[in-house]
A = this chain, B = another copy of it.
Amino acid sequence: MAKTNTIITIGREYGSAGRQIGYKVAEDLGIKLYDREMLERAAKESGICEELFETHDEKPTNSFLYSLVMDSYSFGYPSSSYTDMPINHKIFLAQFDTIRKIASEGPCILVGRCADYALEEFDNVLSVFIHADMDARVRRIARIYDLTDAKAKDLIKKTDKRRSSYYNYYSNKKWGAAESYNICLDSSLLGIDGTAKAIEQLVALKETVTDRKL
């Protein structure tokens, strides 16, 4: 039996340990975490092949024209509800549907992929953004992938740029802006277990607070 009724979405800077913090919270609260599992499920439910979800994962295509060309097969063949749009939009919308379906099944944690935006109408959502100072992120990525500090920093910058472009393109909010999320936390302040604990305390507070008036 889960210890919460809340759905937690986690946006995260690359190297901030956002996903690992999510796994700790999921374990402590007895709920499932969806990261890449979302892609597999969205593929199954939409009938679009899974490789396409992986190719497009958290990446907007560079231009509308490019996506039209890459997607020329779908024009003029109205066989699914996602037909008359470029493939990256189809992928996004199929994922969007899957996120809402997963959320309607009960409490869970959803990492990345604009889940906070997809669930904007849900009442029982706590949207979290996890960031960390650059030095701590470089140390983590250099250690995990055995990279030089310079290469780790480069990878961090590129990945964050990709994630923010995806988020800013598909949602009506700004990636990493405080007001896009309920809570933003610096994981280099509290560490992995400390940040997980902070999220669990916030979930408990959200579930007990009755007076939200300002």
Contact = CB atoms under 8 A, between A and B. Distances in A.
Given A188-B214, A189-B206, A194-B209, A177 B179 contact: no
A112 interface: no
Contacts of A139: 214
A159 to B, nearest CB: 15
A2 interface: no
A58 interface: no
A9 interface: no
A214 B15 contact: yes
A17 interface: yes
A72 B53 CA distance: 64
Contact of A179 (B13, B182, B191, B213): B13
A16 interface: yes
B183 A184 contact: yes
Interface string A69-93: 0000000000000000000000000
A183 B136 CA distance: 17
Contacts of A131: 178-179
B181 A184 contact: yes
Contact of A190 (B13, B198, B205): B205
Nearest to A193: B211
A131 B15 CA distance: 26
B188 A212 contact: yes
Contact of A213 (B126, B191, B202): B191
Nearest to A192: B214
Contacts of A188: 212, 214
A137 B205 CA distance: 21
A136 B182 CA distance: 14
A118 interface: no
B214 A136 contact: yes
A176 B176 contact: no
A201 B203 CA distance: 12
